[in-house]
Amino acid sequence: MTTTIQLEKMSRTEKLKVMEALWEDLSRNEAEVESPFWHQDALRETEARYAAGQETPVDWDAAKKALRDRFE
């Protein structure tokens, strides 16, 4: 199946929705998704900042909304 998407004709909101749909599809089987080599270090750094009170958790739905609002 070949699908052509004309990105230049899409709004930023449409592009983000397509990107989310693609990610959801790609990540359905978590065993097939490999983390990049640097990801473990980034997680440890974030965990250390959280333990030191320098990070505040954000609900995923709230984070997505904030990102959408920033880029729309």
Percentage of the chain with pLDDT > 70?
97
pLDDT in tens, 3-33: 777 888 999 999 999 999 998 898 888 777 7
Q: pLDDT band for position 55 (50/70/90)?
A: very high
Distance of alpha carbon 7 from alpha carbon 15, whole angstroms: 7
If 0-12 CB within 10 Å is exposed, 13-18 middle and 19+ buried, where does residue 45 land? exposed
- Residue 4 burial class via C-beta count within 10 angstroms: exposed 0-12, middle 13-18, buried 19 and up: exposed
Q: How far apart are the first and last CA of the chain?
A: 31
pTM of structure: 0.47
Domain locations in the chain as residue ranges: 36-72
The amino acid at residue 48 is A
